Amino acid sequence: MFTKQEKTFQVVSHIVLAILAINALLPMVLLFMSSITDDTTLIKEGYKFFPKKFSLYAYEYVFKTGPRVPRAYMISVILTISGVILSLVITTPMAYALSKKYVLGRGFMNFYVFFTMLFNGGLVPTYMNYTNVIGIKNTFFALLLPGLVTNGMYIMLMKSYFVTSIPDEIMEAARIDGASEFKVFRTIAIPLAKPIITTIGLFSGIGYWNDWQNGYVYLTKRDDLYSIQNLLNRMVQNIQFLSANSQNVANSDIGLASIPTVSIRMSMAVLGILPMLIAYPFAQKAFVKGITLGGVKG
């Protein structure tokens, strides 16, 4: 039964969270509304929740000029799924290993991970490394590998979870039963770490879905590999450059006059995040199930 304090707590929680949620949601509604506003109206009156004139032209334009949009969505989906799986497969065991205090050289290993969070070679050396040594320029791996698979923060977060939340007694019992460390990890640690694995999976999924920079740097000849965010970002930037340089451009009127320069930015933002919003609840469910199953099977 709820105590009185508990009840008040629940009510207050609801109110606070509802306010926060609406705060987060309202600008999104504005974003969506302005994406379906007529471009000229948008320039005239600014962004409005209830615009005077609606138009789907911005979306039409994106799909017309970008016949690669469906393909780019597909690339994004494949990239995100494979990225999340790879990321978790690499991050989780490392974090688990770091959480074991008796591991020899743990201090060094921690520092090894931590150091990567502060220093990196910078764009040019990283590019040279991936292009000359690893040789992934203009391949799908250029979207998957550079900078995204795991990072120090994910490892540290997970490690901290393993340290604080997974009682060693349970694992000890398994060890006494003769289970190997790998088995303990698979059958006990992973299922118990569901919350943090889901969280890191989510972060890494958002990271992969939203990444457009790797495509910018590493794809010079494979426009068929553009992810959706990369493609949309290129379109927006090109339109911006085009309108800034229109004095130079011959027949710019033919191209420029037909571009909804303002509303297109909004429609592209919507196109970029919408699939993620729709897929998120389903993905999360499937994901949690997957971890549970994986744990049990192992």
Partner 1 sequence: MRKNLKKLFALLLAFAMVFSIAACTKSPAKDDTTQAAQESKEGGELSAYDQAIADRRAEYEKTGKYQKVVYAMYTWIGKPAGTERIQEAMNVILREKLCLEVELMVLDFASYRQNIQLNLTNNDEQVDWFGGNALGYTASVNNGFCYDMEQDNLIQTYGPGICELVSEEYRNACKYNGKLTGIPPMKDIAINCGAMMIGKEYLDAIGYEYKENENQEVPTTWDEIEKIFTQLHEKFPDKYVFAVGGNQFGQGSIVDNIGNDWFGVLLDPTKDKTVVNLFESEEWMTMVKRMYDWNQNKGFMSADALTDTTSLSAKCKSGQYMAMMSQSKPGYKSQISGECGREMIVFILGQPIVKSSGVSNVITCLNQASPDKIAAMQFMNEMYTDAELSTLLVWGQEGTDYVKTDDGHITFPDGVDAQNAEWYHTMNWSLPNQYLAPVWVGDPLDLGAKTMEFNNSAPKSLAMGFTFDNTEYTAEYAALQNVYDQYANQLLYGFLDPETGTKEFNDALKAAGLDKYIAEKQRQLDAWFAAQ
Partner 2 sequence: MASTIQTAPYVKKGKLGKRFVKSIPFYIMALPAAVYLFINNYMPLPGLVLAFKDFKANKGIYGSDWYGFKNFKYLFATGEAFTITRNTLLYNFAFIIINTILAIFVAILLSEMRSKFKSVYQSMILLPYMISMVIVSYLVFAFLSTENGFLNNTVLKFFGKKPIPWYSEKKYWPFILVIVSCWKVIGYNCIIYLSSILGIDRTYYEAAAIDGAGKIKQITSITLPLLKPTIIMMTLLAIGRIFYSDFGLFYQVPQNQGALYPVTNTIDTYVYRGLIQNGKPALSAAAGLYQSFVGFVLILTANLVVRKIDADSALF
Interface with partner 1 by CB under 8 A: which residues?
Answer: 39-40, 43-44, 61, 64-65, 123-124, 127-128, 131-132, 137, 216-217, 220-221, 223, 233-234, 237-239, 241-244, 246-258, 261-262
- Of the two residues 14 and 44, which places its CB atom closer to partner 1 in the complex? 44
- Of the two residues 137 and 175, which places its CB atom closer to partner 1 in the complex? 137
Q: Determine contact, residues 298/183, Cβ cutoff 8 Å.
A: yes
Which partner from the list partner 1, partner 2, none does 14 bind, CB cut-off 5 to 8 Å by kind?
partner 2
At closest approach, how far in Å is the CB of 54 from partner 2?
Answer: 17
Interface with partner 2 (CB under 8 A), residue from 1, 118, 244, 250: 118
**Counting contacts by CB under 8 A, is residue 10 touching partner 2?**
yes
Give residue for tokens 């709820």.
Answer: 2
- Strand, helix or coil for residue 247: coil
Residue 114 and residue 91: Cα distance in Å, rounded? 14
- Of the two residues 188 and 262, which places its CB atom closer to partner 1 in the complex? 262
**DSSP codes of every residue in 30-84:** HHHHHHTB-HHHHHHH---SS-SSB--HHHHHHHHH-TTHHHHHHHHHHHHHHHH
At closest approach, how far in Å is the CB of 5 from partner 2?
Answer: 4
Strands (E), 55-173: none
CA 55 to chain CA centroid, Å, is 30
Which partner from the list partner 1, partner 2, none does 253 bind, CB cut-off 5 to 8 Å by kind?
partner 1
Which residue stretches of the chain are H helix? 4-35, 39-45, 57-65, 69-98, 106-118, 123-128, 141-144, 152-165, 168-176, 181-184, 190-192, 194-210, 213-218, 228-244, 252-256, 263-297
Which partner from the list partner 2, partner 1, none does 292 bind, CB cut-off 5 to 8 Å by kind?
none
Which partner from the list partner 1, partner 2, none does 19 bind, CB cut-off 5 to 8 Å by kind?
none
- Of the two residues 79 and 166, which places its CB atom closer to partner 1 in the complex? 79
At closest approach, how far in Å is the CB of 224 from partner 1?
Answer: 10
**Counting contacts by CB under 8 A, is residue 292 touching partner 2?**
no
Reference 147, options 125, 162, 179; nearest CA is 125
Name the residue type at position 115: F
Element (H, E) at 215: helix 213-218
Phi-psi sector, 222: left (phi>0), alpha (psi -120 to 50), beta: beta
**Counting contacts by CB under 8 A, is residue 82 touching partner 2?**
no
Binding mask 156-185 for partner 2 (x = CB under 8 A): xx--xx-xxxxxxx--x-------xxx--x
At closest approach, how far in Å is the CB of 182 from partner 1?
Answer: 40
Interface with partner 2 (CB under 8 A), residue from 20, 56, 278, 286: 20
Which partner from the list partner 2, partner 1, none does 52 bind, CB cut-off 5 to 8 Å by kind?
none
Binding mask 190-209 for partner 2 (x = CB under 8 A): --xx-xx-xx--xx--x---
Reference 58, options 279, 252, 236, 250; nearest CA is 236
Q: Determine contact, residues 92/289, Cβ cutoff 8 Å.
A: no
Give residue for tokens 């203009």.
Answer: 138
Which partner from the list partner 2, partner 1, none does 238 bind, CB cut-off 5 to 8 Å by kind?
partner 1
Which 211-230 positions form the footprint of partner 2 (CB under 8 A)? Answer: none
